[in-house]
Chain A
Amino acid sequence: NAGVTQTPKFQVLKTGQSMTLQCAQDMNHEYMSWYRQDPGMGLRLIHYSVGAGITDQGEVPNGYNVSRSTTEDFPLRLLSAAPSQTSVYFCASSYRGHYGYTFGSGTRLTVV
């Protein structure tokens, strides 16, 4: 099993550009989430999904969209990148919250 795979690992965007961060898991987990991590802070929840076709907002959803068309994939879209979105983004999945999340290795995004 590959676990949770995130691509790309690094990305630089110009202000106003859009892009999609990819996330895929092969563990048949129902729950998937996107977190952002800023220096000196814990992880903050952006969006989450409890199953295919179901998504909901977390603590910091503004400027991001998600969709969950399959159990395996949970892409995060930045609609119009802003410097405040410079961060490390982690995708995570779990089996209904049990044993917590399995995290991907992260995408380091810089918006200039």
Chain B
Amino acid sequence: GESVGLHLPTLSVQEGDNSIINCAYSNSASDYFIWYKQESGKGPQFIIDIRSNMDKRQGQRVTVLLNKTVKHLSLQIAATQPGDSAVYFCAENINYGQNFVFGPGTRLSVLP
């Protein structure tokens, strides 16, 4: 289940289950969104992006859903694997501008 820890919200899932990571964004003018994955000791890595003219976008094992009405993003990971254990950040942007604003992140822990 999902719980709020001292630092980061943590989501624990069983290997093979689907994961859903949520993000509330702050600016109603944001029109471009990205999910990043950050493994321990590494920089964030691009996973998938979505523009505000779309509600859903699919990649390999990942799907991003965008609900502009409530300013909410979610990242769905199918058949979660141990290698998916990481911190996941959403980031919002306006018109492919310079400044991406990052959310605080969610730690995904995959249980064997």
A: which residues have CB within 8 A of B? 4, 31, 33, 35, 39-45, 48, 50, 56, 58, 90, 92, 96-106
Contacts and interface: CB of A to CB of B under 8 A. Distances in A.
Contacts of A97: 32, 93, 95-98, 100
B42 interface: yes
B31 to A, nearest CB: 11
A42 B102 contact: yes
Interface of B: 6-8, 32, 34, 36, 41-46, 49, 89, 91, 93, 95-100, 102-105
A31 B98 contact: yes
Nearest to A103: B43
Contact of A99 (B7, B44, B46, B105): B46
Contact of A101 (B8, B100, B103, B104): B100
Contacts of A92: 43
B42 A106 contact: yes
Contacts of B98: 31, 33, 48, 50, 56, 97
B102 A48 contact: no
B43 A42 contact: no
B97 A100 contact: no
Contacts of A33: 98
A56 to B, nearest CB: 8
Nearest to B8: A40
Given A42-B89, A105-B42, A106-B43, 10 more contacts: A33-B98, A39-B7, A42-B103, A42-B104, A43-B102, A45-B100, A99-B34, A101-B46, A105-B41, A106-B41
Contacts of A48: 98-99
Contacts of A50: 98
Contacts of A44: 102
Nearest to B97: A97
B44 A103 contact: yes
B49 to A, nearest CB: 6
Contact of A58 (B8, B43, B96, B99): B99
B40 to A, nearest CB: 11
Contacts of A45: 99-100
